[in-house]
Amino acid sequence: MSSVVSSQRVLSGMRPTGRLHLGHYHGVLKNWVKLQHEYECFFFVADWHALTTEYENPQNIESSVWEMVIDWLAAGVNPGSATMFIQSKVPEHAELHLLLSMMTPLGWLERVPTYKDQQEKLKEKDLATYGFLGYPLLQSADILMYRAGLVPVGADQVAHVEITREVARRFNHLYGREPGFEEAVEAAIRKMGKKQSKIYLDSRRKYQQDGDESALALAQALVNDQSNITLGDKERLLGDLEGGGKIILPEPQALLTPASKMPGLDGQKMSKSYGNYISLREEPADVDEKIRKMPTDPARVRRTDPGNPDKCPVWQMHEVYSSESTKQWVQEGCRNAGIGCLDCKRPIIEAVQAELEPIRKRAQEHSRNQDLVRSIIAEGCEDAREAARDTLDEVRQAMGLKYRS
Ligand code: TRP
Ligand code: SF4
């Protein structure tokens, strides 16, 4: 909650599913592109997560990883603004997962709703494995590794962020009191100078004795504004304020991504497995054909039959793409048979073509220049490793594994 850097960090991951479609774009990628300008972002390919369910068929993982990364870049995720990496290339995730596994009660994992749900849903796979049970904890390691404050996820993943918070809390409780913590806190308070120290101590008392939240906020702001104490000292003071030890692993918050409004071509959720998608690299002629062939309100058999947009997937696309005046034109024209369905689809075709044109072009450039893609990811992996090593050093030390050689 109260860490100095973490509140600014965003982390999210995606399983490697190969090429992405408009559902991914409107659901996730557009949001990432926006977030990368507002926060320090880490986005990664969760290839180990893919293995938790695809361990019998891992052949496609590698190509899926690269195709997906190309689509991230094509959609506008920018290596200058966000760090992009592949989970298995940052093996520190595995070590943190292992260390966290030592202190995570089994029951917490057994009770994660997706555990039983997914086993039920993916009946054809044997998911009674150690890796599948531990997968939410691997996700916790992914998040805590970067001390991320915000984790953009869909509703199905909120429970995983919740267990991550519990793991962090338990970890800080067990290991957050480094030897000499009190002395270090006192020294840090003195370093703030007489006047500031007094404000700190008064606010701490008001918060700890009277539960005065505004006093807490004041003291937190005071600590964050200090320029003459170290980052480590700031974290100690923030921990001290809330009556705990040092916060080694700050608790993240889920940033719920609203469900995409983008329908599939048949009005169901757009999905690869339903075959109702428009891919981000769809050729213009295919975009045209796919939208022309979209089913419409089944009651509109002839051009002269009035229709009802509420019963038509094309209307759902207008909700995503069209201006108020176009939407009004559809509503009237459909209900009084003033327009034909092809007329109605034309603005959608144009909007999708305009949206996909720059994406397709960037995807083409990147797939022709795989060396560039690989070097973007190699650099991202290096940057991620650097951040990961810092956390892991502290975690090792906190858990008694700091050996002097
Ligand atoms: N489990 C997520 C999914 O299946 C992917 C993921 C792995 C993730 N680690 C993460 C998402 C960390 C957010 C943060 O979609
Ligand atoms: Fe659907 Fe438009 Fe045809 Fe109405 S006019 S049925 S909204 S495609």
CATH number, domain containing residue 357:
1.10.240.10
Residues of the domain holding 208: 181-241
What's the confidence (pLDDT) of residue 5?
44
Residue 268: the pLDDT is 95
The percentage of residues in the chain with a pLDDT greater than 70, rounded to a whole number, is 98
The structure's pTM equals: 0.85
For atom 15 of ligand 1, which residue has the closest CA? 14
Helices (H), ranges, 82-212: 92-103, 106-110, 113-121, 130-133, 135-145, 158-175, 181-191, 194-210
Closest ligand 2 atom, CA of 339?
Answer: 5
For residue 276, being part of any structural domain is answered with: no
Name the residue type at position 97: H
At 312 the pLDDT is: 97
Index of the ligand 1 atom closest to the CA of residue 136: 1
CA-closest residue to ligand 2 atom 8:
341
Whose atoms come closest to the Cα of 342: which ligand?
2
Q: 126 and 169 share a domain?
A: yes
pLDDT at position 404 is 75
Q: Both tokens of residue 7?
A: 């509140």
Q: Is the CB of 296 under 6 A from ligand 2?
A: yes
- Specify whether 43 is located in the same domain as 98: yes
Interval between CA 370 and ligand 1 midpoint (Å): 25
Provide the residue count of the chain.
405
- Say if residue 9 is in the same domain as residue 22: yes
8 has pLDDT over 80: no
The rounded Å distance from CA 345 to ligand 2 centre is 8
At residue 250, the 3 state secondary structure works out as coil
Pocket around ligand 1: residues whose beta carbon is below 6 Å from it?
11-13, 15, 46, 49, 139, 142-143, 151, 153, 157
Please tell me whether residues 383 and 343 are part of one structural domain. Answer: no
The least confident of 39-43, 52-56, 218-222, 232-236 is 232-236
Whether 381 and 86 have beta carbons less than 8 Å apart is answered as yes
Residue 271 domain-assigned (yes or no): no
pLDDT tens-digit readout, 99-117 = 999 999 999 999 999 898 9
Pocket test for ligand 2, best of 303, 341, 346, 348 (most atoms within 8 A of CB): 341
Same domain, 313 and 393: no
Token output for 293: 């062939």
Class of residue 379 by CB neighbours under 10 A (exposed 0-12, middle 13-18, buried 19+): middle
In a domain, 249, yes or no: no
327 within domain boundaries: yes
Distance in Å, CA 339 to ligand 2 centroid = 8
| Position 49 confidence tier, pLDDT thresholds 50, 70, 90 | very high
| Per-residue confidence band for 4, with pLDDT thresholds at 50, 70 and 90 | very low
Q: Does the pLDDT of residue 3 top 60, yes or no? A: no
Mean pLDDT value across residues 68-75: 98
- Domain identity same for 89 and 169: yes
Structure-derived torsion over alpha carbons of residues 152, 158, 163, 169, reported in degrees to the nearest 10: 50
Section 129-153 average pLDDT:
97
- What gap in Å lies between CA 369 and CA 373, rounded to an integer? 7
